[in-house]
A = this chain, B = another copy of it.
Amino acid sequence: MQRILAAETPKNIGKKVLLAGWVYNRRDHGKLVFVDLRDRSGLVQVVGSKELGELGSEDVVEISGSVQKRPKEMVNPKIPTGGVEVRISEIKVLSKSSQPLPIHIDEIEEKASLDKRMDWRWIDLRRPANRLIFEVWTAMEHAFRQYWIDNNYIEIHSPKLMGAASEAGSELFEVNYFDRKAYLAQSPQFYKQMAMAAGFERVFEVGPVFRANPSFTSRHDTEFTGYDAEISFIESHQDVMEELQKGIAYALAAVKEKFGSEIEKTYGRKLVVPKVPFPQVTMKQAKDILVKAGVKSERKGDLSPEEERELSDYILEKEGHEFVFVTEYPIEVRPFYHMRRGDEPTLTKSFDLLWNGLEITTGAQREHRYDVLVSQAKEKGLKLPPIQFYLDFFKYGCPPHGGFGLGPSRMLMKVLGVENVREVTYLYRGVNRLTP
Contacts and interface: CB of A to CB of B under 8 A. Distances in A.
A118 to B, nearest CB: 12
**Interface range on chain A: under 10, 10 to 19, 20 to 34, or 35 or more?**
35 or more
Contacts of A153: 138
Interface string A385-422: 00001101111111110000000000000000000000
Interface stretch (A70-78, A160-168, A288-296, A352-360): A160-168
Contacts of A426: 156-159, 191, 195
Nearest to A198: B125
Given A214-B178, A436-B194, A396 B159 contact: no
A421 to B, nearest CB: 13
Contacts of A392: 436
Interface stretch (A90-98, A276-284, A327-335): A90-98
Given A97-B395, A222-B161, A3 B154 contact: no
Contacts of A160: 160, 208, 210, 223
A216 interface: no
Interface string A156-198: 1111111110000000011111101010100000010011011
A246 interface: no
Given A94-B400, A161-B434, A199 B427 contact: no
Copy number in the complex reads: 2
A96 B191 CA distance: 21
Lowest 8 A-B CB distances belong to which pairs?
A: A163-B434, A125-B198, A97-B397, A58-B397, A389-B436, A122-B198, A122-B197, A40-B201
Interface of A: 3, 20-23, 38-40, 58-60, 62, 94-98, 101-102, 121-123, 125-126, 131, 134-135, 137-138, 141-142, 145, 149, 152-164, 173-178, 180, 182, 184, 191, 194-195, 197-202, 206-208, 210, 212, 214, 222-223, 225, 233, 368-369, 389-390, 392-400, 426-427, 429, 431, 434-436
10 contacts: A40-B199, A62-B233, A122-B393, A131-B200, A161-B222, A173-B175, A173-B176, A173-B177, A194-B436, A389-B435
